Amino acid sequence: MDHFLYRDGVLHAEDVSLPAIAAAVGTPAYVYSAATLLRHYRLFDDALAWGPHLVCYAVKAASNVAILKLLGDAGAGMDVVSEGEYRRARAAGVPGERIVFSGIGKTEGEMRHVLENGVRQINLESEPEMRALSRIAATMGVEVPVTVRVNPDVDARTHEKIATGKAENKFGIPIARARDVYAEIAALPGLRAVGVDVHIGSQLTDLDPFRQAYRKVADLTRALRDDGHAIERLDLGGGLGIPYERSNLAPPVPAEYGEVIRQEVGDLGCEIEIEPGRLIAGNAGILLSRVIYLKHGEGRDFLIVDAAMNDLIRPAMYGAHHDIVPVAEPPAGVDLSPADVVGPVCESGDTFAKARPLPPLDGGDLIAFRGAGAYAAVMASEYNSRPLVPEVLVQGDEWSVIRRRPTWDEMLERESIPDWL
Ligand code: LLP
């Protein structure tokens, strides 16, 4: 469920009409619904209410500081994977004790920065990283709470580019080696193993891979406790999928996911951390765009819109589906006809949809790409020297630009021509 609905024949974000935003901000533009973001965060919070827990929003999904402030003020922790994301979370007012630092290639500089400024735990992804962190922490005279991200060798049954829990993926430490690694942590200065971490992939539409992974984590936790480690937290990652196509069956909901967690690890008495990103932000955002031209090609129609692959790369990168809807509500029973929805970027990959059944649309009409709240604005670039797309946050009948479109001068001012040219 989200808060992008037709009212009086016009698509709204909560109580704000999208044409009003387009008129003020221009297109393309991302528009987020605060009510949807909060609702999704609370679904996870409620799903884990049976025990101590912290929902750490995966900042990578949508990292605007206003979104982080909204979720942080509601009590969310944050899962960050870079110094940049850490700085965003702190700028949004989230305290270090609610920030988990994940990521497979943390540099020494990044680790030092979070240790100096406060962090809840660091999730280790390799033995060299573990030793580097031990050195840094020992030099600083601090003891840092760590978990080890284990690779459980479970097939997440998702797109190959976003599966992370198979042995062939670059992530984590093979679960079979985990006991040796925890033994080394116990012997190293500056590190205190507080938990186990796992994340098997993103856009999972089936709970079974989670169940398999969490069962392995439970077994490991018991073994580690037998070895004398005080495992008190489990970070169970993110990954729960969202319905990108309205017409398709919906994936499991957070309550069902929370129940799987309770069944598999609930008896261990651990504090549960999860790192959802997509389910919180995905359907809380749309990309608002305007049709530039309708072009009749050879046997097919092209709807050329002012958003492009640089603004929303998921269709080009993963073959991902985003529902596309007109902002002006089409009359009930209107005839749909197929069109290729494409952007203005100079490559054929700049295609959002092929032969998509759509109501009549023409130059000047507004459309919305649904499910564009997660991995959308954050993955935008300035390819073809198209300015970074602005972001707008709506709450009730209030709305604000939370990232403005850069000016042409701003786009050029980071570059310089060497004086030897
Ligand atoms: N935790 C870790 C360690 C992760 O790597 C990720 C996502 C998450 C949590 C959040 O997973 P979520 O709940 O959002 O599924 N750009 C791709 C998705 C990449 C996901 C990367 N890691 C896409 O557009 O589909």
Give me the pLDDT at residue 1, please: 63
The strand pair at 324-326 and 271-274 is best described as unpaired
SS3 string, the chain, reads CCCEEEECCEEEECCEEHHHHHHHHCCCEEEEEHHHHHHHHHHHHHHCCCCCEEEEEEHHHCCCHHHHHHHHHCCCEEEECCHHHHHHHHHCCCCHHHEEECCCCCCHHHHHHHHHHCCCEEEECCHHHHHHHHHHHHHHCCCEEEEEEEECCCCCCCCHHHECCCCCCCCCEEHHHHHHHHHHHHHCCCEEEEEEECCCECCECCCHHHHHHHHHHHHHHHHHHHCCCCCCEEECCCCECCCCCCCCCCCCCHHHHHHHHHHHHHHHCCEEEECCCHHHHHHHEEEEEEEEEEEECCCCEEEEECCCCCCCCHHHHHCCCCCEEECECCCCCCCCEEEEEECCCCCCCCEEEEEEEECCCCCCCEEEECCCCCCCHHHCCCHHHCCCCCEEEEECCEEEEEECCCCHHHHHHCCCCCCCC
46-50, Cβ contacts within 8 angstroms, sequence gap of 24 or more: 46/254, 46/255, 46/258, 47/254, 47/255, 47/257, 47/258, 47/259, 47/261, 48/258, 48/261, 48/272, 48/274, 50/258, 50/262, 50/266
Mean pLDDT, residues 238-248 taken together = 89
Which residues does ligand 1 sit against, CB inside 6 Å?
Answer: 58, 61, 79, 102, 162, 199, 202-203, 237-239, 275-279, 314, 318, 375
Cα(57) to ligand 1 centroid in Å equals 11
Residue linked to tokens 């796992």: 198
Which of 22 and 159 is assigned the larger pLDDT?
22
Ligand 1 atom closest to Cα of residue 202: 15
| Average confidence (pLDDT) over 68-75 | 98
Domain extents in the chain: 4-31+282-413, 63-276
What is the CATH number that goes with domain 4-31+282-413?
2.40.37.10
22 touches 30 (CB < 8 A): no
Gap between the Cα atoms of 169 and 173, Å rounded: 10
- Predicted pLDDT of residue 45: 98
User: What six digits make up the tokens of 27?
Assistant: 């297109």
Q: Would you state the pLDDT for residue 246?
A: 78
CA atoms within 13 A on the CB side of 49: 9
pLDDT at 272 over 70: yes
Task: Please tell me whether the overall predicted TM-score, pTM, comes out greater than 0.95 for this model.
Answer: yes
| Per-residue buried b or exposed e for 186-200, using 16+ beta carbons within 10 Å of the residue's own CB | eebebbebbbbbbbb
Please tell me the residue having the least CA distance from ligand 1 atom 23.
375
Going by pLDDT thresholds of 50, 70 and 90, the confidence category of residue 343 is very high
Q: Nearest to residue 181, comparing CAs of 130, 108, 257, 247?
A: 130
Distance CA 264, CA 280 (A): 23
The atom of ligand 1 lying closest to the CA of 164 is: 5
pLDDT digits (tens, 9 = 90+) for 102-147: 999 999 999 999 999 999 999 999 999 999 999 999 999 999 999 9
Q: What is the end-to-end Cα distance of the chain in Å, rounded?
A: 56
Q: Which of 8-17, 150-159, 252-261 has the lowest mean pLDDT?
A: 150-159
pLDDT bucket at 317, cuts 50 / 70 / 90: very high
Residue 247 has pLDDT above 90, yes or no: no
Q: Which residue has its alpha carbon closest to ligand 1 atom 6?
A: 238
CA 222 – ligand 1 centroid, Å: 28
- pLDDT at residue number 64: 99
Picking from 45-54, 160-169, 391-400, which range would have the lowest pLDDT averaged per residue? 160-169
Say if CB 158 and CB 194 are below 8 A apart.
Answer: no
Residue 250's pLDDT is what? 83
Q: Choose one of 57, 60, 197, 375 to mutate for the ligand 1 pocket test, by most ligand atoms within 8 angstroms of C-beta.
A: 60
What are the tens digits of pLDDT across the range 183-211?
999 999 999 999 999 999 999 999 999 99
Query: Domain 63-276 has what CATH class?
Result: alpha beta
- The per-residue pLDDT for range 318-333, each reduced to its tens digit, is 999 999 999 999 999 9
What percentage of the chain exceeds 70 in pLDDT? 99
> What is the mean pLDDT of the segment spanning 345-359?
97
